[in-house]
């Protein structure tokens, strides 16, 4: 399944993403209300001892105080990943250049991707990898708001309304052979809108 055309995948800035993220940015990419809601969602999803892969992460993951098992981080800036005290280990990889993850099959109970999905040019391949490393019964949690680096977001994302972006993420999950088990949309009169999709085993109970 190809959720995007080649035109959809284009970015305004097609230079190497690693150069763009070469300097660390010790900031959060959403407001406090969004981040608090994200932590609450993770608290609902995580179980004590869960193994977690934090894809496209940074210096802070917004995880709850839940005692987790192995936590592996991924991103494009080494200094940011090194500063994240929730990571047991981490690695740097440009997912627009190489989609295959250096991780074992069925290794994680939860895969998280927060505030970064808009930059993926080959999301169907990346989400297939999320599904591969996700253990049976595990989940994939994708959250996003209306913020982005516009020169690095793909055209399909830049041009879609918020609900259209949620539809894109649902297509990415389906392309990765997963179903959508939960959609969360919370839009306030002020502040960043909160959108999240939880994916899991494709079944008659999940949205296809």
Q: What is the CATH number of the domain that holds 178?
A: 3.40.50.150
- Domain annotation covers residue 130: yes
Q: Is residue 99 assigned to a domain? A: yes
Q: Are 76 and 59 in contact (CB under 8 A)?
A: no
CA distances from 141 to 5, 15, 75, 108, 127 (A): 24, 28, 16, 12, 11
Q: What is the pLDDT of residue 205?
A: 47
**CA dihedral of 95, 54, 40, 84, whole degrees rounded to 10:** -120
CB atoms within 10 A of CB 203: 10
Looking at residue 150, what is its pLDDT? 94
Answer yes or no: is 101 within a domain: yes
Asked, for residue 180, whether it belongs to a domain, the answer is yes
User: Is residue 10 in a domain?
Assistant: no
CA distance 104 to 154: 29
Mean of pLDDT values over 148-164: 96
pLDDT-wise least confident of 28-32, 102-106, 124-128, 155-159 = 28-32
Residue 5, both tokens: 């055309």
Does residue 1 lie within any of the structural domains? no
Whether residue 164 is predicted with pLDDT greater than 90 in this model: the reply is: yes
**Residue of 154, 171, 145 whose CA lies nearest to 62:** 145
The stretch 91-103 carries a mean pLDDT of: 97
Rounded distance, CA 154 to CA 17, Å? 12
**Does residue 140 carry a pLDDT above 60?**
yes
Q: What percent of the chain has pLDDT over 90?
A: 86
Average pLDDT of the segment spanning 140-145? 98
| Residues paired with 71 in a beta bridge | 52
Q: Residues 190-206: what's their mean pLDDT?
A: 81
Residue 26: pLDDT over 80: no
CA 27 to chain centre: 17
46-64 burial, b for 16+ CB within 10 Å, e for fewer?
beeebbbbbbbbbbbbbbe
Could you tell me the pTM of the whole model? Answer: 0.93
Q: Which residues pair with 139 in a beta bridge?
A: 110
Q: Is residue 56 part of a domain?
A: yes
Has residue 164 been placed in a domain?
yes
CA distances from 14 to 6, 11, 119, 191 (A): 13, 6, 11, 30
pLDDT over 50 (residue 208)? no
Average of per-residue pLDDT across 40-48:
97
Structural domains counted in the chain: 1
178-186/194-201 β-pairing: antiparallel
Q: Which residues constitute the domain of residue 187?
A: 17-201
């Amino acid at each position: 399944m190809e959720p995007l055309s080649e035109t959809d995948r284009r970015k305004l800035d097609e230079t190497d993403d690693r150069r763009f993220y070469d300097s660390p940015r010790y900031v959060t990419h959403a407001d406090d209300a969004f981040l608090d809601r994200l932590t609450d969602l993770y608290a609902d999803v995580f179980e004590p001892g869960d193994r977690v892969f934090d894809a496209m992460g940074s210096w802070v993951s917004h995880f709850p105080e839940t005692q987790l098992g192995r936590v592996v981080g991924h991103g494009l800036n080494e200094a940011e990943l090194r500063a994240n005290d929730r990571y047991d280990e981490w690695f740097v990889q440009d997912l627009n250049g190489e989609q295959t993850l250096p991780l074992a099959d069925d290794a994680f109970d939860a895969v998280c991707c927060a505030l970064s999905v808009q930059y993926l040019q080959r999301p169907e391949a990346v989400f297939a990898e999320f599904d591969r490393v996700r253990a049976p019964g595990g989940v994939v949690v994708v959250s996003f708001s209306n913020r982005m680096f516009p020169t690095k977001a793909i055209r399909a994302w830049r041009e879609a309304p918020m609900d259209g972006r949620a539809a894109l993420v649902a297509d990415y999950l389906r392309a990765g052979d997963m179903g959508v088990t939960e959609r969360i949309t919370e839009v306030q009169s002020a502040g960043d809108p909160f959108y999240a999709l939880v994916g899991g085993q494709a079944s008659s109970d999940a949205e296809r």
